Amino acid sequence: MVFPTQKKKEDLPRIPLRELARQLPGTFRLVWEADRVNVLTFVALQLVLSLQPAAMAWVGKLIVDGVVRAVKEPSDAVRVQVLELVGLELGIALAGLLIGRFNALLNSLTRARLGNLINERILEKALTLELRHFEDPALYDKLQNARREASARPLSLATSALDIVTRLITLASFGVLLWHISWWAVFALAVSAAPAFWVEARLSGEGFRLLSWRAPEGRKLNYLEWILTRDSHVKEVKLYGLGQLILSRYRELFAKFFAQDAALTRRRFWLHLLTSLVAQAALYGCYAFVVWRAVFGQLTIGDLSLAFALFTTGQGAFAGLLTTAAGMYEDALFMSNLFAYLNVEAKGEAATVSPPRTLPKGPHALVLDNVSFRYPGKEKWALKGVSLTVKAGEKLGIVGENGAGKSTLIKLLLRLYDPTEGRITYGGVDLRELEPAELRSRFGAVFQDFVRYQFPVSENIGLGEPSRLGDRPAIEAAAAAGGAAELVKGLPRGYDTVLGSWFDDAQDLSAGQWQKLAVARAFMRDAEVLILDEPTASIDAEAEMAMFQRFAQLARERTAVIISHRFSTVRMADQIAVLEGGQLIELGSHDALVKKGGRYAGLFELQARGYRP
């Protein structure tokens, strides 16, 4: 089950380390902005903590030499000195423990704040995007990749950078202590850790490329899971017995992912085993050399203890340093997803002239002048050469089969897209020259795929005009206008009833009831133009008639654009536009089009035939 547009894994570019260095400044800015005080405290304490291993090793050497001296030259002074050294080592250990615990607390607090900051940035960016972005699968993949791990990766990348600094300080202190024992061992241990770094960097890059490559199929896996767990699908799943079919597809896709992950995990195991053997050989080679020197009396027992402690800890520090660097590479790869999403170009949500044009309060005439449009990346025209005029206060009905271009026309009127050719004017001004928010504030709409907000009834209606969300009288008036007043009276807590099925004590509604609230939401705004996209698709004929009687009264001085498959709905319009294949093929009143005997008359007769005995 492969998406037609899915890239091959080998086609994905390998990202060089020098390019990933560009992710660091932006990541550091995010972490700094999230919690400056905690970040400064964390950095200072980590730098102090970086000296603890060397201090512990040096005091351990002094303890061993003190014990040897106390055995050879027994005296209370020497014994007390040894115990004092043990107390000093205990103090260093406790200080390290406290600093480590406190830094873990700071890390958790910063992670929470940073995660929230990242999510806010993602959501803020979403507000700037245009409809074309949300309808682009590639951008959706960027969004999902950004959200998947970006909330944790920035802090991981920043702490890894600090970890490299502190490990370098630790290794430098080890080098000072080891210099008189075996200076070349420092370099030998560093070289022995290099293969582990190469392995980590290589496998981290492959892991990232694997996740990026299968992002579309990962989205499909989530979708299959969603089908089996959402209330909106359970009826059809049970009715048609789809459960095992969907589950088998889920298992098939998961098995494919598991096979890919398992292959990478096995490679990681064998390569890590090989690099670990190299590191152990180097460690014990250095240790054997030091033991040989101690046997010949060139080093004290304390020096031998110090060397072994530093060899073991130092090699771990070298391996940790390089592994951390490889982990930074992986973190930076994921951060590239976040920054790629945040840097998506979105220039359409603005007027094309500065300052934007303005209009007096309307309504005004809507004019489509030879408008053509095709969606980004598509060759087929969704609309082609459409010209028509809707006078101020006039009602326009739009009919046509699915795919005729009706909903596309609505998107252009709301400037969710701009025409590919031609132009649309409102009050004689090109829509592109008006501020989008100001233009849309003049429109009210009921979309065919209206939103069912899992909010109280009052907010489901009031969101039609957010500035009046707390205006209960206005909300009640809009409910009456949309035919939802009686519905609200029957709910347990009236306008305070939480709707939907996501939360406790919520009340779900039928499709028709939800649609009445959507219509009421449109009437909440004192709009100059009302757009109704299949506004009666989910309500019965009696409710439809009642709603349109109210609509005719309330929209008397407003311009209205009505899309419907029901001719009983559109026949009230002053003029009706018939779209077919994206082209305007007929335009006129209901009576004129029926008399003409063309496409509209044929569709009307076909529908009317269904109501005859």
Measured torsion, CA atoms of residues 9, 13, 19, 22, in degrees rounded to the nearest 10 = -60
Q: Which domains does the chain have, with CATH numbers?
A: 21-342 (1.20.1560.10), 362-442+530-613 (3.40.50.300), 455-526 (no CATH)
Query: Which span out of 297-311, 391-405, 599-613 was modeled with the highest average pLDDT?
Result: 391-405
Edge-to-edge, what's the strand order for the sheet holding 583-588?
Answer: 443-446, 529-533, 559-563, 395-399, 575-580, 583-588
Report how far Cα 188 is from the mean position of its chain's Cα atoms.
Answer: 45
Q: Dig out the tokens for 258 from the structure.
A: 């598991």
* CA–CA distances in Å: residue 472 to residues 175, 320, 459, 461: 74, 62, 10, 10
Looking at residue 219, its amino acid is R
Tell me, what's the pLDDT at 11?
43
Other residues' Cβ atoms within 10 Å of the Cβ of residue 252: 12
Beta bridge partners of 397: 562, 576
Taking the C-alpha atoms of residue 238 and residue 223, their distance in angstroms, rounded to an integer, is: 17
Tokens standing for residue 578 = 């018939």
Q: Which residue has the higher pLDDT, 40 or 266?
A: 40
Of 470, 468, 574, 484, nearest to 526 by C-alpha is 468
Task: Write out pLDDT tens, residues 83-98.
Answer: 888 889 899 889 989 9
Structural tokens at position 526: 């004192």
Given a contact cutoff of 8 angstroms between Cβ atoms, the answer to whether 579 and 405 are in contact is yes
pLDDT tens-digit series, residues 297-340: 777 777 777 777 777 776 667 667 766 776 776 677 678 778 88
Cα 12 off chain centre by:
22
Alpha helical stretches, state H, 343-402: none
Confidence category of residue 366, pLDDT binned at 50, 70, 90: very high
Q: Give the pLDDT confidence score for residue 223 in this predicted structure.
A: 77
What number of other Cβ atoms are within 10 A of residue 392's Cβ?
16
Partnered with residue 386 across adjacent β-strands are 371
554-567 pLDDT per residue, tens = 667 788 898 877 77
Mean pLDDT of the chain: 80
Query: In whole angstroms, what is the distance from residue 537 CA to residue 448 CA?
Result: 8
Query: What pLDDT does residue 5 have?
Result: 43
Binning pLDDT at 50, 70 and 90, where does residue 13 land? very low
Q: What pLDDT does residue 212 have?
A: 62
d(C-alpha 588, C-alpha 389), whole Å: 11
Counting Cα atoms < 13 Å in the Cβ hemisphere of 526 gives: 5
Sign of the alpha-carbon torsion through 67, 73, 78, 83: positive
The set of residues, in sequence order, having a beta carbon less than 8 Å from that of 123 and lying 6+ positions away, is none
What tokens appear for 595 in the block? 């008399």
- Residue ranges with strand state E in 77-217: none
Cβ atoms within 10 A of the Cβ of 608, count? Answer: 12
DSSP state of 449: T
How would residue 193 be classed by pLDDT, with cut points 50, 70 and 90? low
Q: What share of the chain is helix, strand, coil (3-state, %, to 5)?
A: 65, 10, 25
- pLDDT tens digits, 579-588: 999 999 999 9
**Are 142 and 125 spatial neighbours (Cβ–Cβ below 8 Å)?**
no
Q: Classify burial at 333, counting beta carbons within 10 Å of its beta carbon; exposed 0-12, middle 13-18, buried 19 or more.
A: buried
Mean pLDDT throughout 213-226?
73
Residue 188, both tokens: 């030998």
This model's pTM is above 0.85: no
- State the pLDDT at residue 97: 92
* pLDDT, position 169: 82
User: pLDDT tens across 231-271, in order?
Assistant: 667 666 766 677 788 888 888 888 888 888 888 888 878 87
Q: What is the spatial distance between Cα 24 and Cα 118, in angstroms, rounded to a whole number?
A: 15
Question: Which parts of 296-354 fold into alpha helices (H)?
Answer: 301-342
Confidence of residue 518 (pLDDT cuts 50, 70, 90): confident
* pLDDT bucket at 542, cuts 50 / 70 / 90: low
pLDDT of residue 163: 84
Backbone angles phi, psi at 499, to 5 degrees: -105, 160
Above 50 in pLDDT, residue 3?
no
What pLDDT is stored for residue 246 in this prediction?
82
| Contacts of 528 by beta carbon, 8 Å cutoff, 6+ apart | 361, 362, 363, 364, 442, 443, 558, 559
Q: What is residue 409's predicted lDDT score, i.e. its pLDDT?
A: 93
Report, as an integer, the average pLDDT of 341-362: 82
Position 422 confidence tier, pLDDT thresholds 50, 70, 90: very high
Residue 415 CB-density burial (10 A; 0-12 exposed, 13-18 middle, 19+ buried): buried
Sorted by sequence, the CB contacts under 8 Å of residue 53 that are 6+ apart come out as: 170, 173, 174, 313, 317
Q: What angle do CA 328, 199, 186 make, to 5 degrees?
A: 85
Q: Which of 61-65, 436-440, 542-546, 554-558 has the highest mean pLDDT?
A: 436-440
Give me the percent of the chain exceeding a pLDDT of 70: 80
Could you give the CA distance from residue 367 to residue 362 in angstroms, rounded to a whole number?
14
Contact 562, 593 (CB under 8 A): no
Distance between CA atoms of 146 and 559, rounded to whole angstroms? 42
Q: How far apart are CA 434 and CA 510, in angstroms?
A: 38
Per the CB < 8 A criterion, the answer to whether 508 and 487 are in contact is no
Give the mean model confidence (pLDDT) for residues 480-497. Answer: 89
Tell me, what's the pLDDT at 94? 93
Q: Which residue has the higher pLDDT, 366 or 603?
A: 366
- Distance, in Å, from the CA atom of 70 to the CA atom of 596, rounded to the nearest integer, reads 118
Residue 386 pLDDT level (bands cut at 50, 70, 90): very high
- Report whether 38 contacts 105 (CB < 8 A): no
pLDDT at 78: 77
Q: What pLDDT score does 315 carry?
A: 64
Q: What is the CA radius of gyration of the chain?
A: 35
Higher pLDDT, residue 485 or 290 = 485
Confidence class for position 390, pLDDT limits 50, 70, 90? very high
So what's the pLDDT on residue 12?
Answer: 42
CA nearest neighbour of 322 among 197, 416, 146: 197
Mean pLDDT on 525-529:
86
- Note the pLDDT of residue 172: 77
Q: CA angle at residue 468 from 473 to 521, to 5 degrees?
A: 80
Give the HSE-up count for residue 192: Cα atoms under 13 Å, Cβ half-sphere: 23
